[in-house]
């Protein structure tokens, strides 16, 4: 399914008016859109006329050659040709787990500065069993740049709280910014309740909205640089002035070398997410042998092996497009 091209448009109907939508990849839209309330009301001819640089999809676009469990939510988006190559359950609202941290990074990059000093409060105290943590304590300090690396590479939940509390002024206010930003970029079927993705009521997203959020985050060079890193080493400061060294490895199996993409595909980077409620999730930026970029996302896979086998199959479709 082709993508639609964002122009200054006005559709005068009793229920619909869209205007002043900006070009693909920009970090904001004057008026958010909804695949449910807008695109399903517009004919394919109108979509071609009132187009944007974003891929859209209103129904499943599957391929019998791709083995994908019915429970998974999956999408493959050709960024240059603005075309959805594969879609399964992409508009179904599901738990995002740590894919949430992409929105956290996007909001932090928009409203914070990389050299901003963050100071940990009690907000970093996360007691959930099995939660990925870097071990922050009240009074610890590091820069936003350091925290973003730890957040996106290692997926530390306490780093997410550190960022939210400092950039937003409070965690609650930062979460409000996350939801405002989601609407601004057109991700209208999601809602965030925290900045890390641990299971919480009223915290959900769709695979399509994750594509929109990831696409928006990629407009920041530092985001692309961080998600491409297989590891990260830094030093932050305790309240008493002592130093703490951090040496973390990526949670992304392709970057760690544990998993292999198709030979003609290069995985630039992405974000993983896993909770009992969300299952196993992964979103990637990948390029073909000509350097053309694609976003691939899989959510709610039943286990890690299934996640990577399905993602590899999805990436293989790039070689056939």
Phi/psi region, residue 139 (left: phi>0; alpha: psi -120 to 50; beta: rest), is left
Percent of the chain whose pLDDT exceeds 90: 80
Q: Which domain holds residue 224?
A: 97-251
Give pLDDT, residue 52: 61
CATH code of 162's domain: 3.40.710.10
- Residue 17 domain flag: no
Q: How many domains does the chain have?
A: 1
Read off the pLDDT of each residue in 101-127 and give the average, rounded to a whole number. 98
Read off the pLDDT of each residue in 198-214 and give the average, rounded to a whole number. 97
- Residue 201 domain flag: yes
Structure tokens at 6: 């964002």
- Residue 217 domain flag: yes
Binding region: 271
Binding region for substrate: 271
Give 9-23 pLDDT, tens digit per residue.
223 223 233 332 223
Read off the pLDDT of each residue in 84-109 and give the average, rounded to a whole number. 98
- Residue 178 domain flag: yes
Burial tier of 228 (Cβ tally within 10 Å: 0-12, 13-18, 19+): middle
Query: Cα–Cα distance between 1 and 78 in angstroms, integer?
Result: 10
Give pLDDT, residue 134: 97
- Residue 25 domain flag: no
Write out the catalytic residue numbers: 98, 101, 155
Is the pLDDT reported for residue 29 higher than 70?
no
Give, in order, the Cα–Cα distances in Å from 29 to each of 7, 8, 72, 233, 278.
Answer: 11, 11, 29, 36, 29
- Indicate the helix (H) or strand (E) that contains 312: helix 304-318
- Residue 102 domain flag: yes
- Residue 76 domain flag: no
The percent of the chain in helix, strand and coil, each rounded to the nearest 5, is 30, 20, 50
């Amino acid at each position: 399914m082709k993508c639609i091209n964002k122009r200054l448009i006005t559709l005068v109907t009793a229920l619909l008016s869209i205007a002043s939508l900006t070009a693909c990849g920009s970090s904001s839209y004057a008026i958010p859109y909804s695949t449910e309330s807008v695109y399903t009301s517009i004919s394919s001819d109108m979509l071609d006329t009132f187009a944007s640089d974003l891929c859209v999809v209103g129904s499943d676009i599957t391929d019998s050659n791709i083995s994908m469990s019915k429970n998974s939510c999956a999408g493959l988006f050709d960024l240059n040709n603005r075309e959805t190559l594969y879609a399964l359950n992409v508009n179904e609202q599901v738990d995002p787990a740590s894919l949430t941290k992409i929105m956290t990074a996007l909001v932090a990059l928009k409203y914070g500065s990389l050299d901003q000093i963050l100071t940990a409060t009690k907000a970093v105290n996360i007691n959930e069993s099995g939660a990925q943590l870097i071990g922050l304590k009240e009074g610890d300090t590091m820069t936003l740049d350091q925290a973003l690396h730890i957040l996106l590479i290692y997926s530390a939940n306490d780093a997410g709280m550190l960022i939210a509390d400092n950039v937003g002024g409070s965690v609650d206010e930062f979460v409000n910014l996350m939801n405002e930003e989601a609407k601004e970029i057109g991700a209208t079927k999601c809602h965030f309740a925290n900045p890390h993705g641990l299971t919480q009521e009223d915290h959900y997203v769709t695979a399509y909205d994750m594509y929109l959020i990831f696409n928006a985050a990629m407009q920041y060079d530092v985001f692309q640089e961080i998600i491409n890193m297989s590891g990260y080493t830094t030093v932050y400061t305790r309240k008493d002035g002592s130093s703490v060294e951090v040496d973390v490895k990526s949670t992304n199996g392709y970057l760690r070398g544990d998993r292999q993409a198709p030979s003609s595909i290069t995985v630039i980077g992405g974000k993983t997410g896993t909770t009992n409620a969300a299952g196993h999730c992964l979103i990637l930026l990948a390029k073909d042998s000509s350097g053309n970029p694609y976003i691939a996302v899989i959510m709610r896979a039943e286990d890690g092996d299934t996640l990577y086998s399905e993602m590899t199959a999805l990436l293989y479709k790039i070689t056939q497009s």
